[in-house]
Amino acid sequence: MAASLYPALHAALAESDPYAKARMAQALWADWQGGRLDHSGLHQATPQTVGRPARPELVAPLDVPRRRLGTVAGRAALIHAIAHIEFNAINLALDAACRFPGLPRAYYQDWLQVAAEEAGHFGLLADHLATLGHRYGDFLAHNGLWTMAEKTAGDMLTRMALVPRLLEARGLDVTPGMQARLQAAGDPRAVAILDIIFRDEVGHVAIGNRWFRWACAQRGLDPIATFRQYLEDFDISRSIGELNIEARLQAGFDMAELDALLNYAGRSTTA
């Protein structure tokens, strides 16, 4: 008989050691795939304890120093920043899997898979950071991703709208540019790691899109109008950079949604 998913899930979310958390997330996915865990038993949302290490020190986004990639320290700082995003992404996926009760089994399966893949990304980046003479926690970081998780903790639809569809989708836009800079700086290993992350993140954003639309359908809401209203309600910045249209379409957006996003930013549409 399969054991309840939730004790192990809560333990992974509460774990403060990032390397142990990554291992626990991957073990959860292996146990789920092996039929050893069952998602029954979560009947109401409860506050979750989210573990994080004492370092890195968290500061405001504008207080995180920018470093030139022409130095080893500069490259290490960028790799550290990406590793910090992936660490937060492990917590985001684990939280999505245990915060919202009463959803289809496939929902929990999706977010357990995402957590395991984010853990793999963190491990690749942490290993590469070590070759540059550093460790996760050595540089300042900010907490923007988790701040949005806290703002969207009360509702699955809101979480899907503003974390995978907004913040994580932004990674699809900026990753190719980061790869070009790292290639120019002579770091092909970092470029290869970002290839893996980019491929997986297309799938992760697609999962967010799928469950956002599912929840809209359940509530009789129009997805485009609903997303636009969330942008307004949460006072999302209208300074939206260039969109990676191809990657966003692969991740399940449609052109009408991308037009609406650009319209919100006061820019010409993609049509």
Per-residue pLDDT of the chain (271 residues; tens, 9 = 90+): 788 888 899 999 999 999 999 999 999 999 999 999 988 766 555 656 899 999 999 888 878 888 788 899 999 999 999 999 999 999 999 999 989 988 999 999 999 999 999 999 999 999 999 999 999 999 999 887 788 888 999 999 999 999 999 999 999 999 999 999 999 999 999 999 999 999 999 999 999 999 999 999 999 999 999 999 999 999 999 988 899 999 999 999 999 999 999 999 887 654 4
Answer yes or no: pTM beyond 0.85: yes
The architecture (CATH level 2) of 3-37+60-218 comes to Up-down Bundle (1.20)
- Nearest Cα to Cα of residue 257 among 223, 216, 212, 233: 223
In this structure, the number of other CB atoms found within 10 A of the CB of residue 145 comes to 17
Q: Phi first, then psi: what are they for 38, rounded to 5°? A: -130, 140
CA dist., res. 25 & res. 18, Å (int): 10
Kindly list the domain boundaries of the chain, sorted by start residue: 3-37+60-218
* Residue 271 pLDDT: 45
| d(C-alpha 36, C-alpha 44), whole Å | 23
Q: How is residue 142 annotated by DSSP?
A: -
